Structure formats: C-alpha cells, structure tokens
Amino acid sequence: MRVLLLLALFWPTLAGAESLVATRLIRATEVIAPGDIARRPEPVTGAASRPDQVIGLEARVAIYPGRPVRLADLGPAAVIERNELVQMVYRRGGVIIISEGRALGRGALGDTVTVMNLGSRQSVRGIVTTYGMVEVAGSAGSMP
C-alpha cells in the first residue's frame, strides 16, 4: 500500500491521468466534434487528455478508431479552401485596395496562403485574417 501511495505522490501525472481516443475514422481536414472522441483510462504520451483541447480543431492526418488523438496531429480549422474566391486587402498608409482573388491553397486564421488576383492573374502571398479575406503584402507598411 505504501508503494502505491509513494508512486501516486511522485508521479502525479499518472495518478488519474487519461487520454482521448477516436470513436470513428476521422479523416484529414475533418473538424473534431464531441462525439468523435472518448476517454481511455491509461495515459498516452502526446495524446490529448481533455476534450476542450481537441474539439473544434482539424485533423491533419487520418485518425483511426481506438487510436489516441495526438495534439501534434491537430491544428486550427481552415477558413479558406483551395480554389475559393476571396477578398484580397492591400493597406498602405490611408490607402486600402480590395480585389477579388482565388486561393491557391487552404488556410486557417493567421496562415500564409498564395492567392491569384483574378484581374491581373498575378499570384501574391498574404495572411488569412478572417473568413474569405486575405491581407496581402504591403499591409504591414512595406512595399514589396
């Protein structure tokens, strides 16, 4: 009995620790919902231990049923999809130019994506700021 007590005192992460596992096949790019995960009593290194750590995040790889949901396999959900029409915003001083473009990749808030300007057919890189909007070069005050 003393050995168990000492073990619980010196390894508090093991005492009562648990991990989350997938309840179904979660494909890459799917957003994790509450019904997609279940608790497993034994801890797994790198796996999430609380639902609030993973719900609403997007799977970067396929996660199979019964497998641990690892935090490294998750990321913010994309708000811009490849080939989606987006608003490109260019800001410099008091000048704001808004143009339509086509996203050439997926991106979550804060990600850098390449966007093709539909008017000029030139590709520029910008930062996803909100749903369907990308701030392009020059927005931080420097001209490319």
Tokens representing residue 130 in the block: 């909100």
Last residue of a domain, one of 46, 75, 104: 75
36: three-class secondary structure by DSSP: helix
- Enclosing domain of residue 112: 79-136
Cα–Cα nearest to 22, from 43, 44, 37, 39: 37
Lowest mean pLDDT among 35-49, 80-94, 125-139: 125-139
Band of pLDDT at residue 137, cut at 50, 70 and 90 = confident
Q: Are residues 42 and 98 in the same domain?
A: no
Please count the other Cβ atoms lying within 10 Å of the Cβ belonging to residue 140.
9
pTM of the model: 0.68
DSSP string, 103-133: ESS-EETT-EEEEEETTT--EEEEEEEETTE
Query: Mean pLDDT in the chain?
Result: 85
Could you tell me the CATH number of the domain that includes residue 58? Answer: 3.90.1210.10
User: What pLDDT, in 10s, does the model give residues 55-99?
Assistant: 999 999 999 999 999 999 999 999 999 999 999 999 888 899 999
Assess whether 6 and 62 both reside in one domain: yes
Q: Could you give the C-alpha distances from 74 to 56, 79, 81, in angstroms and in order?
A: 10, 15, 17
Q: CA 10, CA 133: separation in Å to the nearest integer?
A: 50
Predicted local distance difference test score (pLDDT) of residue 93: 87
* β-bridge mates for residue 25, sequence order: none
